[in-house]
Structure 1
Amino acid sequence: MDKMITVKDLIDNTNLQVYSGAEFLVERELTESEISRPGLELTGYFDYYPAERVQLFGQTETSYARAMTSKNRYHILEEMATAKTPAFVFSRGIEPSSEMQRAVQENQIPILVSPLTTTRVSNIITQYLEKVLAPRKSIHGVLIDVYGVGILLKGDSGIGKSETALELIKNGHRLVADDRVDVYQQNEHTIVGEAPQILENLMEVRGIGIIDVMNLFGASAVRSSMEVTLIINLNNWSPDVNYDRIGTENKTEQIFDVEVASMTIPVKVGRNISNIIEVAAMNYRAKKMGYDASARFETQLNNLIKHNSESD
């Protein structure tokens, strides 16, 4: 990964507390989202030791270490405390041993603690690191929450993306980002979008300028992030294009490694695009629940053709 944060960033964004080494928080870098529970290393096996990861000690690791002699314990912990190791974390309010404190002090590595269970601590750290260290890119468009569906509106400048989003907001839906949407891959199935910090809660409306959506419509009109579940491309209506009229086309667009459902909505005078987008969101949810109107139409059509053929 090409992005880097420090242990201080981890402290500032989680409920972890500093036990020792506060003066080293800014110096220690985090470049891996995975964490390590060093069970094998405590036995002396270091062939594949992931030194660049946060080292998490729970009840199991601590109990095993306590059974060792003080000399062996210090030898193992000293080998674990490398120049790459960002931090040692102890869950369940476990008190680090004196050998641990000596090893990290010599190598300038902070010790962090938490009263939470090991699994909970692991989840908190992993979720934060996966979010901030994930590859990101910026997409020109508008991201809005419509009936719980994260819709990314795309299209040429001036086609009416922001104006459509504004009408959706007035109808009770929520803005995530306008003009630029920063997206990252949360896992193998999920793309999450959010606004760049400088554009958070802001929207550009041609003829008016920049407006603060939260200030004008209230906190319920915005949200900080949203899964991108449907991409809607707004295109100027063209008589030469055969638009999908039944809904049987299952198109997708790839963002990173994830295929996101997509569709194209033609724009022309007289079409209420915000209403169409609301229906698109409801129809998307219905399909996810197993109610596919296009499939039902095809079934009824085939039954009618079969019936007419038998009548002949």
Structure 2
Amino acid sequence: MQPLRRITIRELLAAQGKAVKMRLLDGEAGLDRYIDHPRMQKPSLAFAGFIQNLSDYRLQVIGQTELQYLATRSPEDQRQAVNAVFDLRLAGVVVTRNQMPPDIIREAARRTDTPLMISELPSSTFMTNLMLFLSHYMAPMTYQHGVYMDIFGLGVLITGSSGIGKSEIGLELISRGHRLIADDMVQFSRMSPGVVVGRSPDALRYHMEIRGLGILNIRDLYGAAAITDAKRLSLVVEMVAWEQLAPEDRVLGEESETDILDVHIPRVPIPIRSGRSLAVLVEVATRNQLLKQRGIHSGEAFVQSLQHRIEQGR
């Protein structure tokens, strides 16, 4: 798993400056400082003297309340409070509601090379909009080899050793009306606790590699209805050699999970053998997972019924 991503203030301004109506006032020399957390802070308590919990790797947002509080203090107290905050070498500071910050704040920003920005939006709107972007941008991310499909509304990752036929199964599923998300390499991000979302890297989007046919553009071949951009991961289907499965697993199936970004994802092994309709089996595995999500476990119900019959026979 990759570590939490970070973004520099320069990159943030380029990516979201227009969207959150934010522009740079002072501190251009510090634009390469970075933030590593999607949540922002308001230095209200810091201006009152409590700076222990102020993070220099989070974006600081100064709103109308903070400016009004500073105005109630003497010029010397204001200077001490502002300098104590900016001496932390903050990643960046944003003043909202298009309020021009007082000279004491601008001077502190220039002295410490702290990027000082201004936004036209109210603090609550600014923080909500920017946190949505940062949460997505900084989400823990990893890459998995396989074919990622939208089957019956569930995100299904088809895995297996190289050359086992994953892309061919995916192509047959597309022919049966399901949608391709990614082939060969899948990018997964943990968007919230317990939620992993998969999508295709930009360079591979809408394409599949089929041995003998080369690179195919699924959107051009099947139309826009055959592709989708992202889906929450709900099931991993692993293609395995027939001889790798124990006899009891071939009859009763195997209840197992795999961890992706510290999230437990149900895993179903499907043995490969000549004459099996693998696309149909993947569909059935997906339908069975839908039933499990509704609290219906066919295998458990069968075992319980069989156990009851055995006990009655005794």
TM-score, structure 2 as length reference: 0.84
Report whether the alignment pairs 1:16 with 2:20. yes
User: What one-letter code is carried by the residue in structure 1 that aligns with 2:20?
Assistant: L
Q: Give the match for residue 111 of structure 1.
A: 117
- CA displacement at 1:266 relative to structure 2: 0.8
Distance in 1 (CA, whole Å) between partners of 2:262 and 2:120 is 34
Report whether the alignment pairs 1:86 with 2:114. no
Report whether the alignment pairs 1:128 with 2:130. no
Report whether the alignment pairs 1:252 with 2:254. no
Bigger drift between 55-64 and 147-156 goes to 55-64
Bigger drift between 250-259 and 155-164 goes to 250-259
Distance in 2 (CA, whole Å) between partners of 1:72 and 1:133 is 37
Distance 1:45 1:205, change over 3 A: same
Identity %: 26
Distance in 2 (CA, whole Å) between partners of 1:228 and 1:58 is 39
Bigger drift between 154-163 and 52-61 goes to 52-61
User: What one-letter code is carried by the residue in structure 2 that aligns with 1:21?
Assistant: L
Alignment of 1:212-251 (within 5 A): 212-238=217-243, 241-242=246-247, 243-247=249-253, 249-251=254-256
Q: Give the match for residue 6 of structure 1.
A: 8
Report whether the alignment pairs 1:266 with 2:268. no
Give a deviation string over 1:58-108, Cα, whole Å, max 9, x none.
4544443444345533443343235742322345x3524324344334434
Distance in 2 (CA, whole Å) between partners of 1:64 and 1:223 is 50
Q: Secondary structure at the match of 1:37?
A: coil
- CA displacement at 1:27 relative to structure 2: 2.9
Q: Secondary structure at the match of 2:177?
A: coil
Q: Give the match for residue 49 of structure 2.
A: 44
Q: Secondary structure at the match of 1:21?
A: strand
Distance in 2 (CA, whole Å) between partners of 1:289 and 1:239 is 31
Distance in 1 (CA, whole Å) between partners of 2:45 and 2:27 is 30
Q: Give the match for residue 305 of structure 2.
A: 300
- Aligned-pair RMSD on alpha carbons? 2.9
Q: Secondary structure at the match of 1:215?
A: helix
TM-score, structure 1 as length reference: 0.84
Unmatched tracts of structure 1, length 5 or more: none
- CA displacement at 1:47 relative to structure 2: 2.6
Q: Secondary structure at the match of 1:204?
A: strand
Contact 1:188 1:257 in 2 (8 A): no
User: What one-letter code is carried by the residue in structure 2 that aligns with 1:223?
Assistant: T
User: What one-letter code is carried by the residue in structure 1 that aligns with 2:22?
Assistant: V
Distance in 2 (CA, whole Å) between partners of 1:97 and 1:254 is 48
**Between Structure 1 and Structure 2, how many residues are aligned?**
306
User: What one-letter code is carried by the residue in structure 2 that aligns with 1:235?
Assistant: V
